[in-house]
Amino acid sequence: MSAGAVQTSGTEVLRPHAEHAFAAELAALAAQDDRPRPDRWRLSPWAVALYLRGGTLPDGTVITPKYVGPRRVVEVAVSTLATDRALLLLGLPGTAKTWVSEHLAAAVSGDSTLLVQGTAGTPEEAIRYGWNYARLLAHGPDRDALVPSPVMRAMAEGMTARVEELTRIPADVQDTLITILSEKTLPIPELGQEVQAVRGFNLIATANDRDRGVNELSSALRRRFNTVVLPLPESAEAEVDIVTRRVDQIGRSLDLPSAPDGTDEIRRVVTVFRELRDGMTSDGRTKVKSPSGTLSTAEAISVVTGGLALSAHFGDGVLRPGDVAAGVLGAVVRDPGTDRVVWQEYLETVVRERDGWQDFYRACREVSV
């Protein structure tokens, strides 16, 4: 491939988009999906929900679960996109909001890349449109000088747009969405024109109110969304399943060893995170203090993936307590002043006394000193 090439082959992409990574599943669903589809949808709402929840098609094709959680959450999210109301996925950090958003867009529109990433510095142009200033200076304002945003493109093509971390975007920029979502039009006053949304257009936003520095949504904007709350996994078994699946997917893309031999370590990481998150041991007998961090499922995935990398490159390829101990410490102790005390107390009063956890206790003690 030449030095100036932009396209990369599937084997070279570090993280393929959902529509590429799961193209075979989407194609199999489309081929066997005979249910009514809204305009410009690649699949019916029923098939979109099956794609997210997982299952087996009549021809034996296995659809892997993309979201492990309440079925009704998926059904409400999918049915919202089939209406004229936008979808707001709300939840704590690490509850798979971005993951669900991406897969919804991939299944509905076949393209998850019409994305606006929300930050404190996101400008209004990222949601509306910008200008090619060289052409603007040379020829004046015209449609050829206009640079459409992902939202504008989605409106014109009847696709699904995504806005990640909506509450991180400044409030005045957030409100740019009000006209788009209520009137389904985007005015271009410089040209005396507008872009009207065609059938199939909708928008998925994600947000959480746990992080510091968020900008609350105005009531006017919030009314334009149907809000679906993504909960934390209900049980430890469900969370272990989620972590194992995602670590396996990430590991394959990075040529890391598979995780089955390290299932015990995954279970321990998940147990530690859940107990510190809940402020109570899993048997309900001992109260524990909670650290300042969220200790989300996403962080557990990161800890285990990092442990697999340590095991692959500096160990014997089997995930062991020493491979995850440092990652657990880094996830728990975000504020050295208070979180370290919380962690030490939990380590000595809970982990130390737990049967079968002595190797994990010793590994955590070594990195905590």
232: confidence class by pLDDT, cuts 50, 70, 90: confident
Amino acid 4 reads: G
pLDDT of residue 252: 81
Q: What is the band of 216 on the pLDDT scale with cuts at 50, 70, 90?
A: confident
Structure confidence at residue 256 (pLDDT):
79
Three-state DSSP class for residue 86: strand
Taking 70 as the threshold, does the pLDDT of residue 89 lie above it?
Answer: yes
State how far Cα 86 lies from the chain centre: 18
CA angle 144, 145, 146 (to 5 degrees): 90
Q: Which residue has the higher pLDDT, 217 or 163?
A: 163
Mean predicted lDDT score pLDDT of the chain: 91
Q: How many CA atoms lie within 13 A of 158 on its CB side?
A: 9
Range of weakest confidence among 70-84, 252-266, 311-325: 252-266
Choose among 234, 237, 365, 354: nearest CA to 286.
Answer: 354
Q: Which residues pair with 129 in a beta bridge?
A: 148
Give the lowest-confidence range in 10-14, 180-184, 354-358: 10-14
The share of the chain scoring above pLDDT 90, in percent, equals: 77
pLDDT at 3 over 60: no
316's tokens: 């014997």
Would you say residue 160 has pLDDT above 80? yes
Neighbours of 150 (CB within 10 A): 20
- Reported as a pLDDT band with limits 50, 70 and 90, residue 251 is confident
**DSSP string computed for 271-327:** HHHHHHHHTB-TTS--B----SS---HHHHHHHHHHHHHHHHHHS-SS--HHHHHHH
Residue that wins the pLDDT comparison between 101 and 140: 101
Average pLDDT of the segment spanning 17-34: 96
Q: Which of 29-33, 191-195, 256-260 has the lowest mean pLDDT?
A: 256-260
Residues 315-369: tens digit of each pLDDT:
888 899 999 999 999 999 999 889 999 999 999 999 999 999 999 999 999 998 6
pLDDT of residue 2: 40
- Digit-coded pLDDT (tens) for 340-352: 999 999 999 999 9
| Stated pTM of the model | 0.88
Mean pLDDT, residues 192-212 taken together: 89
β-pair partners for 56? 62
**134 in Cβ contact with 87 (< 8 Å):** no
Lowest mean pLDDT of 205-219, 232-246, 354-368, name the range: 205-219
Q: Which CATH topology does 71-229 take?
A: Rossmann fold (3.40.50)
On the question of pLDDT at 83 being above 50, the answer is yes
- Please, which residues have CB within 8 angstroms of residue 252's CB and are 6 or more apart in sequence? none
Give percent of the chain above pLDDT 70. Answer: 94
Domain ranges of the chain: 71-229, 236-368
